[in-house]
Amino acid sequence: MSYGSSNIGSGSGTATRTFEFGRTHVVRPKGRHQATIVWLHGLGDKGSSWSQLLETLPLPNIKWICPTAPTRPVKLFGGFPCTAWFDVGDFSEDAPDDLEGLDSSAAHVANLLSTEPANIKLGIGGFSMGAATALYSAMCLVSGNYGNGNLYRVNLSAIVGLSGWLPCSRTLRNRVEGSHEAARRAALLPIFLCHGLGDDVVAYEHGKRSAQTLSSAGFRNLTFRSYNGLGHYTIPEETDEVCNWLTATLELEGS
């Protein structure tokens, strides 16, 4: 368990915020360590909530790292502070983007993965706002840099997003087009997205549109699953599919 902070400069000479991240919970692999995945919780939650669930999954070769987001004022709650990976006023791809907050959280996640052994496959997953942050990290990987221009130095082998959305969707195409390397990375990066048709927090249409935006921008290795009657939570059918997808995508030995 650890604490950390991230101070991301915008490159414009303006003052930047320092974000103090909460406690990080680690679930050690029960078998041979083949992959490490940082899993990001939703708005107002904490890392321990998900570490308890992830520990029960039949994925003995994965090490899970579950950080806790900084506590910050959130526009959605009228400025009331809660744990959040970035500031948000609306759960959709049309909302204004808190680029500084997104960069800070993506850098924190990359830092957590940067000390893993070279032979270990790396991934990022999350729920709701955590899924949005995972998808933003995918954008950074593909373009090779954060929104502020700093280099993104982590190689990712899998992205998982449950009940989430794509932030910065309006700038995605600009970050991918015009670069053969970015297009190559986008085409190869495996992404698995799930969304409930009954989600009344992050509407299903937002999740579906995010998947379509990613596909049209060249993310060809993308799977989108929908679940009848599922609200803004997870169910065994969904986690089973995530387990099967991760086992196949990361070529794990399995349980």
Cα gap 255→247, rounded to integer Å:
9
Amino acid type, 160: V
Q: Which helix (H) or strand (E) holds 240?
A: helix 236-249
Give the list of residues 6+ apart from residue 244 with CB closer than 8 angstroms, or none: none
| Cα atoms in the Cβ-side hemisphere of radius 13 Å centred on 190 | 14
Measure CA of the first residue to CA of the last residue in the chain; give whole Å.
Answer: 26
* Dist. CA 232–CA 228, nearest whole Å: 12
Host H or E run for residue 24: none
Alpha-carbon span 92 to 251, nearest angstrom: 33
Which sequence positions are flagged as catalytic? 128, 199, 232
Query: Which residue shows structure tokens 């809660």?
Result: 82
Asked whether the beta carbons of 71 and 41 are under 8 A apart, the reply is no
**Dist. CA 161–CA 125, nearest whole Å:** 6
Both structure tokens of 95: 């909302």
What is the number of H-type helices and E-type strands within the chain? 7, 11
